[in-house]
Structure formats: C-alpha cells, structure tokens
Amino acid sequence: MDRDVIIALDFSSRDEAARFLAPFADAEQKPYVKVGMELFYAAGADFVRDLKAKGYKVFLDLKLHDIPNTVAGAVASLAALSADMLTLHASGGREMIRRAREAADAWDRAPILLGVTVLTSFDDASRSEVLLGEGHTAEEAVLALADVALDAGCGGIVSSAMEGKVLREKLGTDFPLVCPGIRPAGTEVGDQKRVVTPADARDLGVDYIVVGRPITRAEDPLAAYRAICEEFLGGNR
C-alpha cells in the first residue's frame, strides 16, 4: 500500500493556491494535494485539470452526500477530471455508495472513492447529536460507517487516525486509510478535536495523512512539508 503526505490546499482562490505551490514547482516529485469545497467552488474544475497536467496527484475532497441518483451523476461528472481520490459521506448509505461506484467504474481512470466516516471536528459529545444517538462513541460510529462504506463499494476510508488501530484490527489492511486532523507536536489544533501527530499516525496504520495549516501557514512551507514527510515517511519522499 502506498503512503504519502497530502497537503490540504485550503485557500479561497486559485491565485492563493498557485502562490503557495510556486516553491514546489521545480520538485522532482510534486506533492499530493487536496482540493476541498472552498477551493473547488472558487477555482472550478479547470483548476483540478491544471494540477493534474502539472503532475500533481489530487485528492478531491467534496464529501458528496445526496440521493443516490444525484451522487451518481456528480461522480460521473467529477471522474472526468482524473482526480486520484474522491470523497463521499458514508452516512449516505449503501445504495448511494453503490451507485457512485458504478458511475466511477464507467471511466478508465476512475478515482478511488473514499467513505468519510466521522469528521475530525467531532468528539464523542458532539457526534452523539448527529450520529447513532446517545450511548455510542465516535470510534463505534467510525467502525460502523466504514464497514458499510467498504461493503457497498468504497475503495478506502477517511477517519481520524485515532481510529486507525481498530479499523485495521476489525476491517483489515487492504484499503487505503486517509486521515486528516494531523498536527505536529506543539502546534495549534484549531477546530480539530480528534488529532494525532504524523509519527503516531504512521504507527496506527495510516496510509495517507492530510495536513493543512501546519504547512500552508508555516513561515517556510517547503521546509514544514519536508519535516512532516520525514516524520511520517521516514524520509522516503
């Protein structure tokens, strides 16, 4: 299974993202980047196409969640962009995921569909307001949603790395585990609640870590990125 550090391009415009990426332009191997809702809605599909043309791997994090027919249509449209990974909410259910899988498989270069379980901005208390009711932990919700997502056709899972160990123990190792909420030791956690360090994520069986502000807001983003790669990958980047 491949492992990598994904930089979250959480910017509000194409120009901001382009300025940030400028120091990486001459890298022999371009970093894996995440385009989320904020940037995608501002910069559009052409920005994703441009990233791919320049050699970047793209994690398109749009967290699709709607009726099955609508999500299938969205996946069919987005698959044309040749993104490497695409997210949908596992809570959308089996039929939504199954239809999304069928739509993706119609393309030669289908993205890996990732089932988003419980957002890293939730803890046990806030999670109970929206998932499974009282009496269930975030870990239990993650495991239940991941099981549904994989069984229905997702190729991988998004969760906090804090659930990495139980996901590997219960569901195996033959799917990519992608984890946001990563913060190097001593950095601010912001609006994240279930966070771990890059080294901890590695030890918990995570394949991809998604890192935003510790890199994008660093004085020297390239140095910050390399330090996180060193910690998570052991310098193999």
Task: Tell me: is residue 63 an annotated ligand-binding position.
Answer: yes
Residue written as token pair 């219960």: 170
Catalytic annotation, residues: 61, 63, 66
173 labeled part of a ligand binding site: no
66 is known to lie in a ligand binding site: yes
The answer to the question of whether 217 is labelled as a binding residue is no
**212 annotated among ligand-binding-site residues:** yes
183 is in an annotated binding site: yes
Query: Angle of helix 164-171 relative to helix 138-152, nearest 10 degrees?
Result: 40
Residue 68 in marked binding region: yes
Q: Is 70 marked as binding a ligand?
A: yes
Residue 61 labelled as part of a binding site:
yes
Q: What is the CA 89 to chain-centroid distance, rounded? A: 12
The response to whether 69 counts as a known ligand-binding position is: yes
| The residue to which tokens 């590695």 are assigned | 202
Longest CA–CA span in the chain (Å) reads 51
Detail the residues annotated as belonging to a binding site for substrate: 10, 34, 61-70, 120, 183, 192, 212-213
- As annotated, the binding site includes 10, 34, 61-70, 120, 183, 192, 212-213
